[in-house]
Amino acid sequence: MSHPFDTLTPDLVLDAVESLGFLSDARVLALNSYENRVYQVGIEDAQPLIAKFYRPGRWSDAAILEEHAFTRELAECEVPVVAPLLHEGRSLFEHQGFRFTLFPRRGGHAPEPGNLDQLYRLGQLLGRLHAVGATKPFEHRESLAVDNFGHASLKTLLDGDFVPRELLPAYESVARDLLKRVEDLYARTPHQLIRLHGDLHPGNLMHRDDIYHVVDLDDCRMGPAVQDLWMMLAGSREERLGQLAELVDGYNEFHDFDPRELALIEPLRALRQLHYSAWLARRWDDPAFPPSFPWFGQPRYWGDQILALREQLAALDEEPLKLF
């Protein structure tokens, strides 16, 4: 069966960009992206542009425009983000059935894991981002919750017969135990939902010329502030405690962090594990996925997942990280 992205050829990409009045030099470079399709397009006598083509059927126009509005709001408050370009007052365009957006090109590299100096500055950046994000809610974008990231993810995996039959009882049992524990921790941990990036792993931060830029707000949503912080931490518990202190010190210069939310780090990690497997399952009909993730359908992957979920279940019973 064909997939909608099968018709997204280099010629169509060039035609879409040129339909807005830009003159390309016919160079198209596919960038590393799976959820959407992203290309660098050369422009005559100017810097290249980044063209992002949205996955059909994933977001409504209203949800995409809300992402763009949030990004522009951040930029207007001098938070360094890569915001969509406006053309005749618009940022979302359509060409031959594909919705797309243009961005300026921003180069750079991801932060160094565990670099305390960088973490303090990243904390400042995240504090500024959340100070803006906390001013009002999203209206058209979903929240990060146990139901959609946890239960719905497990349902996708079970209904689609993705888990090998011989491993299904063990996987389903540990996943359900994990979700029950996550629900309990969510229910008794005070937290506030704010607008946030939602997928702020180090790859979505670019460092160049002593400046950090936040990129790719495609997954922005309502959620607890700690969701944008915990993926900055790596290493042993002792190492993460030191990293957390630097991160929150910088964060608190611009927005108050509620330390009670630290109890949500391991529940959020558990939800991300389940959601990632479900994301692969939901995208398996996309021809880009099987060759890029060949291990997904193998029994070894699911055996490793059972072990990882059991370890995560044990982590939920450990004492949360604390600030000292």
Residues in binding site for Mg(2+): 204, 216
Which residues is 196 bridged to in the sheet? 221
H, E, C per residue of 197-214: CCCCCHHHEEEECCEEEE
- Whole-angstrom distance, CA of residue 103 vs CA of residue 84: 5
Closest CA to 27 of 2, 8, 44: 44
Q: Are 136 and 194 in contact (CB under 8 A)?
A: no
Neighbours of 27 (CB within 10 A): 13
Distance of CA 189 to CAs 118, 175, 240, Å?
A: 29, 21, 21
Active site residues: 199, 216
Give binding residues as ranges: 204, 216
Which residues is 103 bridged to in the sheet? 50
- Whole-angstrom distance, CA of residue 280 vs CA of residue 157: 10
